[in-house]
Structure 1
Amino acid sequence: MYKSCLNGLAMGLLLAYVCKGQIEVDLQRFIDQHVSKVRPLAVQCNLAEWEAATTGSDQAYRRAADLRLQIRRIYSDPNDFSYLKGLKASGQVKDPLLARQLDLLYNSYLENQIDPDLLKQIVDLATAIEQRFSTYRPVLDGQKVTDNQIKQILRTETDLEKRRQAWLASKQVGGQVAGDLVKLIKLRNQAARRLGFDSYHTLALTVAEQRVEELDQLFEELYELTRAPYAQIKDQLDRTLAAKYGIEPGQLRPWHYHDPFFQEAPDIYGLDLDAFYKGKDLRQLASRFYAGIGLPVERILERSDLYEKEGKNPHAFCTNIDREGDVRILCNLKDDQYWMDTILHELGHGVYELYQDPCTPYLLRQPAHIFTTEAVAMLFGRLSSDPLWMKQMLGLDQQQVERIQGPCRSYARLRQLIFARWTMVMYHFEKQLYADPDRNLNRLWWDLVERYQLVKRPEARDYPDWAAKIHFTIAPCYYHNYLLGELLASQLHHAIARQIGNADIDYVGQTAIGRYLCQYVFEPGARHRWDQMIRLATGQALTPQYFAQQYLSAQ
């Protein structure tokens, strides 16, 4: 009897092992078949998008849209999703690489399990709103004006009434789209609730492997860290601007700042770095820098489109065509600091993509998260206004470095504090927008602006100023990732400085930087969740601590 029981137990264990093995074999077969369908479409789509961006071809735009739809149809297959959902719930996939691919596939399918009719309503309405943003021109003094003209007025005009009218004009589009935007929010919520989520906000974070509680904690911690330094620097800024306009600081209103949402730092330090880049070959500078840290980028630059031409997209970006080494960037280079920042930034995305481990499975051959690639791009883009980097790369003498060092640090601190507080407005507003789109959103917006940005609302203002921000339409529940990228960039900077043994590292010629990033950030790809990758790369969870060290202490 005892022997019989042992034999029975052994047979049961063997069957369980065989069953588990077959489950993983079946999953691998599913992945192989899935990749064989998705990969060629993705390559064609990326090439079509590249052609569209570099030529403005209507035909290329249509081809890219059609290919995106074909890819989305694959991920909307309910039978595939049912298989993945059951497999994930069973917990029987133990192989780490297979389990990770299962997680990513499940999330990709989950966000596409929307009723086709409802999905069409969402896509059509979002497209209509986006088109209205693209074509609407606000009216100022009886004339239609562009966003750039409004921003120029807010940067330079000293006539306070003209500033006020320009700011009001910047919000006109909000009144045009607010009603439809609320409808869009409700449609997205309807889709999310059919999938078992309380709101679209929760769904969007879930498929991005983020949790509301986690983000709330990070943002609250950063709010407390920035409370005193932001209040101090905002008071200094207000005094400077009030003196310029001949009013008291308490009289300042939104139109007294230098952009429609006070998301950018006004230039109150007289800092002009463009002269140092005048006549410089930015392509050559970027190539030399990246080669010097052990991350050559000529393969990227040879395939890239770097200079202005008719019909070309004005916005810079990086694209990975095939996850097999065809990485490109689009820029419109001019010899100034902005475009030095931009090419360093886009090549930061580029090296993250280029130096993935080619042996990693296709589905995992991508950044751990959208904000982790933003972090690397920000880490390198920041260097364009770093006096120590500029000294090494541009040949500045010590007198020039000393002249710009103080203003550079002060402006970087102001810029990061203002952007952090602005992002808090966006994150908290969007969360509450999806929680209750029927509440008084106009008042909620200004409550949050006053709390986080310390900007006073206009008297008796009841207008959908919030709706003038296009991100609520085209990039829902995404904006917080920009700030997470800034936090991680500072955390990576600290880890690199620790590796090098130099807190004032200028990055130039430091091949250890390339080795560190390849080993801990690039080559792992998406093998680990973003939070695990950060722990492995820096020894800690994502924290605002190093952002605070870098930017919040008084200079």
Structure 2
Amino acid sequence: MKPKGQTNQKPLKKIMQTKENDVMTRVSNVIALWCFVFVSLSGVTASAKGKTTHAKADKSSKKTNKVKTLKAQIQTLEKRMKRAESMMARAAKALALAEGVVKRAKTTLAAVKKMKDSSRLALKKAHKALKKEIASQRPLTQVEVRFQIDDWEIRERAAYVAYAHVEWKKYTRAPKLSTKKVYGKLTKIRSEKKIFETLKRARKEGILKDPVLKHRAQMLWDRLREFHLSDKANALRKKIHALEDKLNGIQASHRAVLGGKKVSNRDLRSIIRRDPKRSKREQAWRAYATVGPRVLKGGFMKLVRARNAYAKSLGFPTYFHYRYSKLHLHPEKMWKIYEKLRLASEDAYLKTAASYKELLKIKKVYPWDRRYAAFYQTKKVVDLDKYFAPKKLLPILFRGYKEMGFALKQLNILMDLYPRPGKNQHAYCFDIDPPYDVRILANVGQSGLRAYETMFHEMGHAVHGKFVRQDVRTFRALPDEGFLNEGSANFFGNLVDTKDFFQRYLNIPKKDLQKIVAMKKKQLNSRLYTMRWTLLWMYFERDLYINANVDDPTSMFWARYRQFQGDVPPNPPPYWGILIHFVSHPIYYQNYLLADMLAAQLHEAIRQKTGAKNVLGNPKVGPFLKKNFFAHGRRYRWDELLKKITGKPLTADAYLRALKHSW
């Protein structure tokens, strides 16, 4: 093996010499070849010189003939070109004419098709008109009216149940879910002309002699008439539903922020009610009110104005007047009752406010002080919350209803009771399809009397729905008048804050109970003070629809607040936005006050007719309410039903007596 860098020089030289020899040989051959070619060409050139003179003469004659031939060909081609151009021009004209013919043919075809479609539509209308005319000449019978009502109600109920299921899903777990599609199907059924024309004709001809059928026809007429008045009213109803759907989603999904963290309404209310630090209560209260700007920005006043426009299209001055008409309430008469309660509570309000100022050593009672003052006033005597523990709520609820004659475990009431993200933070009873499908939504888990009142209230709605007993579908639902529904709920809810309830279910030591009874007897003023909140919401909502042109009703709200509750806080926010009823259940809040009045009258009637001193623990309560109240469903108007049950018209007297004597 050779060292690196050393090469073999001898073989390389031999290779280079061999290549040089090859190149020289090839060069010699090329030179010899060129010499041969040169000699050959010299000979050819000499022989060609002799022939050149003869070739020139032949060439000139050939060139002359070729030129003539070419000129003749060019002339022929030019003629052909002209003929081709002429033919192309004629073809273009023909094509243009053909395109015009095709265009006219297409236009004619479209016109014929349109005429055919319009003829088909006209023929369909003519057949329909003929059928309608033949039907109108044929006598309309009660049997036919009953059949049409039954058929329509079956389809309408199915559409409503589908809509209610979507609403349940929206409220329990999907706040942004739209109900537009199912609501559209329900509206389409309610807008059907056939059933409406049948009712119209039956009313005109006066053929309905059966009192039950006549009542059903009248109820349906009242419900459906507004769906058949004008396209404007129908468009406004769709707009209203879309705005309600949007604002419901805002209220349901809203979570306030306190201290950099999202906080539920339930926790905020707990801070406002229990925290001794006034500044922290104020922060919680202001956080609680942050939903207001979102509701306002989301189009709340557009909703108010749309409702007013809808009411005006139906012949009412405002939506307030329209709703009172639907509820069979006379605004002026009812306002006299409300004014009576306002004046009756005036002195109580002033005394309660003064006592709160003295208790908390403050000069003004702001919204974040009122609930805390009531809580602190009670806690100084005894801590009630320890007796209203969350874990005892359901056992006491089931026991209390059972002792009044309602076996809740046998009623199959679906309950969604505990809070979670995305769930509505309030409490509702969903009467999806009474008496078969009734559900409760709630958010239990905190101690306190209010939690117990809420569950007894919502269960009152549920048992009402579960004991509707009507063979006729028209009546197989909860009453149209909201305060009858709320009356049945308040009948039970108002039993919680009573001496009998505390003695019977809370296992309170005798010494503590005596303190509580003494305290409660002194708190009549504070209960009347609380009632003024209901009046505040009612008066403000009426103001909303009478003064609907304002862009922001916040100053209007605080003016009413000053009238009913006193001191207005600095920089007052749109606190009215916390109330879900303004969006989902307009002109509804008066139902709670009327329900308290109704519940008090029912309590007195049951004591008289069953011979028992108490309602709680009275097993005759259930059978009495089932037979005389719940079973009737929607069959009677509220004033008729109230007289059937109590023998008296609605008044505030029993309610005021109940406030004085419940303890």
TM bucket normalised to smaller: 0.7 to 0.9
Match of 1:486 in 2: 596
Report deviation, 1:534. 1.0
* Alpha-carbon contact 2:495-2:501 (below 8 Å) kept: yes
The answer on 1:296 being equivalent to 2:381 is no
- Cα gap change, 1:553 to 1:236, in 2 (>3 Å): farther
Counterpart selection for 2:342 from 223, 246, 255: 223
Report deviation, 1:481. 1.0
Counterpart selection for 1:128 from 246, 252, 264: 246
Q: CA RMSD in A?
A: 3.7
Asked which structure has the greater CA Rg, the reply is 2
Segments of 5+ residues of structure 2 without an aligned counterpart are 1-136
- Cα gap change, 1:390 to 1:429, in 2 (>3 Å): closer
Greater mean deviation of Cα atoms: 194-203 or 301-310:
301-310
The answer on 1:202 being equivalent to 2:308 is no
Provide the C-alpha distance between the structure 2 equivalents of 1:141 and 1:335, rounded to a whole number of angstroms. Answer: 21
Match of 2:620 in 1: 512
Provide the C-alpha distance between the structure 2 equivalents of 1:142 and 1:335, rounded to a whole number of angstroms. Answer: 23
* Alpha-carbon contact 1:281-1:335 (below 8 Å) kept: no
Provide the C-alpha distance between the structure 1 equivalents of 2:278 and 2:388, rounded to a whole number of angstroms. Answer: 34
TM-score normalised according to structure 2 size: 0.68
Match of 2:219 in 1: 104
Counterpart selection for 1:418 from 525, 529, 532: 529
Match of 1:427 in 2: 538
Provide the C-alpha distance between the structure 2 equivalents of 1:147 and 1:277, rounded to a whole number of angstroms. Answer: 20
Question: What is the SS of the residue equivalent to 1:329?
Answer: strand
Question: What is the SS of the residue equivalent to 2:650?
Answer: coil
The answer on 1:549 being equivalent to 2:549 is no
Q: Which amino acid aligns with 1:512?
A: K
- Cα gap change, 1:198 to 1:94, in 2 (>3 Å): farther
Report deviation, 1:37. 0.7
Q: Which amino acid aligns with 2:602?
A: L
Question: What is the SS of the residue equivalent to 2:329?
Answer: coil
Counterpart selection for 2:478 from 358, 364, 367: 367
For residues 10-409 of structure 1, the aligned pairs below 5 Å read 22=140, 24-50=142-168, 56=173, 66-77=181-192, 80-81=195-196, 83-84=198-199, 87=202, 93=208, 95-112=210-227, 115-134=233-252, 147-148=265-266, 150-158=268-276, 160=278, 163-164=281-282, 166-178=284-296, 180-241=299-360, 243=361, 247-248=362-363, 251-258=364-371, 266-270=375-379, 272-278=383-389, 282-301=393-412, 303-305=414-416, 315-331=426-442, 334=445, 336=447, 337-359=449-471, 361-368=472-479, 369-396=481-508, 398-408=510-520
Question: What is the SS of the residue equivalent to 2:651?
Answer: coil
Provide the C-alpha distance between the structure 2 equivalents of 1:395 and 1:463, rounded to a whole number of angstroms. Answer: 42
Provide the C-alpha distance between the structure 2 equivalents of 1:340 and 1:147, rounded to a whole number of angstroms. Answer: 17
Structure number with higher relative contact order (C-alpha < 8 Å, ≥ 6 residues apart): 1
| Paired residues, number | 517
Counterpart selection for 2:646 from 522, 526, 538: 538
Q: Which amino acid aligns with 1:268?
A: Q
* Alpha-carbon contact 2:255-2:264 (below 8 Å) kept: yes
Report deviation, 1:187. 1.4
Provide the C-alpha distance between the structure 2 equivalents of 1:401 and 1:86, rounded to a whole number of angstroms. Answer: 66
Provide the C-alpha distance between the structure 1 equivalents of 2:562 and 2:547, rounded to a whole number of angstroms. Answer: 20
Q: Which amino acid aligns with 1:480?
A: Q
Provide the C-alpha distance between the structure 2 equivalents of 1:402 and 1:141, rounded to a whole number of angstroms. Answer: 41
* Alpha-carbon contact 1:282-1:340 (below 8 Å) kept: yes
- Cα gap change, 1:327 to 1:131, in 2 (>3 Å): closer
Match of 2:66 in 1: none
| C-alpha distance after superposition, 1:136-166 (max 9, x if no partner) | 5666678776545654443345555555555
Among all aligned residue pairs of Structure 1 and Structure 2, give the percentage whose two residues are the same amino acid.
Answer: 27
- Cα gap change, 1:128 to 1:389, in 2 (>3 Å): closer
Match of 2:8 in 1: none
| C-alpha distance after superposition, 1:365-391 (max 9, x if no partner) | 223332222222222123334332343
* Alpha-carbon contact 2:434-2:465 (below 8 Å) kept: yes
Report deviation, 1:67. 3.0
| C-alpha distance after superposition, 1:340-383 (max 9, x if no partner) | 43433232122212222243x11212233322222222221233
Q: Which amino acid aligns with 2:302?
A: K
Q: Which amino acid aligns with 2:587?
A: C
* Alpha-carbon contact 1:306-1:330 (below 8 Å) kept: yes
| C-alpha distance after superposition, 1:106-163 (max 9, x if no partner) | 3332454564433333233333334444455666678776545654443345555555
Q: Which amino acid aligns with 1:188?
A: R
Provide the C-alpha distance between the structure 2 equivalents of 1:430 and 1:89, rounded to a whole number of angstroms. Answer: 38
Segments of 5+ residues of structure 1 without an aligned counterpart are 1-18
- Cα gap change, 1:53 to 1:393, in 2 (>3 Å): same
Question: What is the SS of the residue equivalent to 1:319?
Answer: strand
Provide the C-alpha distance between the structure 2 equivalents of 1:387 and 1:294, rounded to a whole number of angstroms. Answer: 21
Report deviation, 1:333. 5.0
Greater mean deviation of Cα atoms: 299-308 or 429-438:
299-308
TM-score normalised according to structure 1 size: 0.80
